[in-house]
Amino acid sequence: MKELFIVYRTELIKTKNSFAFWLVILGALFIPVFFVGTIFYHWRDYIHYLVVENPNPWNEYSRKLFNGVHFTFLPLLMVLIIALIFNIEHKSNTWKHIFVLPISKARIFIAKYLVLLTLVLMFYCLLLSFYLLGGYLLEMWKHEFGFLNHSPSYAYEGVQTNIITYISRSFITALAILAIHFWLSFRLKNLFSTIGIGLGGVVLTIGMYISHWHSLIYMPYGFPILMCNFTPQTNHFLTDFQANSLIYFALVSIASYFDFVLFFRG
């Protein structure tokens, strides 16, 4: 366990010096800044949407902001972050140097996976922070919004849920893409190949969203998009596409583990 922690810490330090680390921060900041800026310019319209038509202004604020996050932005951001992390090894051609160290491949695999999960969790924590900060800044600017009079929440079609619960479900939908591109990114040395596959998956998902919406529950790149205008479940924590994301994550992670440990030579 101590050796695994040392490898994890080393990989984390390596990642902190890469653009992937800063992309996590910028990605978490982009949609909240864009949406809050839009409200600043059209505040009269949004007072009507957020206050007049809703008992809790956080509900519509959350729905619109997270729709912007989930519709293509989150899948593409995940693909780019994962590709950049593995490009550190591919670009420097350091895989063989890593494998000659007295560290098992299993520990290297787990450490890299933990680093990736850490970055994704960091993205969601920052996104939540910027989301809350945006609401409070709007309240400080125009008290008519009434954000301080209510607790942050997400609601659609009359069904309301805690914002932490909603964020947790969003994180689950991203796990399938994480597992798939983790595997692709250590197998494909070309940065643009993995990004191209991800972009193709997102474009295909958009086409399916328009014409075959119900089939998206089986499409990994479509799981985050299905969080747009998501109706929270009151009797089950997970819906079908969120459960499917966990299944993809488990199966692909196991397959990529054995591929990395048994066959990958860098």
Per-residue pLDDT tens for 125-175? Answer: 999 999 999 999 988 888 887 888 888 999 887 788 899 999 999 999 999
Q: How much of the chain exceeds pLDDT 90, in percent?
A: 57
What separation, in Å, do the N-terminal and C-terminal C-alpha atoms of the chain show?
A: 25
Q: Exposed, middle or buried: residue 265 (CB in 10 Å: 0-12, 13-18, 19+)?
A: exposed
The reported pLDDT for the residue numbered 127 is: 97
Per-residue pLDDT tens for 239-250? Answer: 999 999 999 999
Amino acid at 183: W
CA atoms lying within 13 Å on the CB side of residue 255: 13
pTM beyond cutoff 0.85: yes
pLDDT band for position 77 (cuts 50, 70, 90):
very high
The reported pLDDT for the residue numbered 251 is: 97
pLDDT at 52 over 70: no
Contact (Cβ atoms closer than 8 angstroms) between residue 180 and residue 189? no
Main-chain phi, psi angles of 235, to 5 degrees:
-100, -15
Contact (Cβ atoms closer than 8 angstroms) between residue 186 and residue 192? no
The reported pLDDT for the residue numbered 210 is: 79
The reported pLDDT for the residue numbered 53 is: 66
What is d(CA 197, CA 193) in angstroms, rounded to the nearest whole number? Answer: 6
Contact (Cβ atoms closer than 8 angstroms) between residue 230 and residue 156? yes
Per-residue pLDDT tens for 161-198? Answer: 899 999 999 999 999 999 999 999 999 988 899 999 99
What is d(CA 108, CA 8) in angstroms, rounded to the nearest whole number? Answer: 8
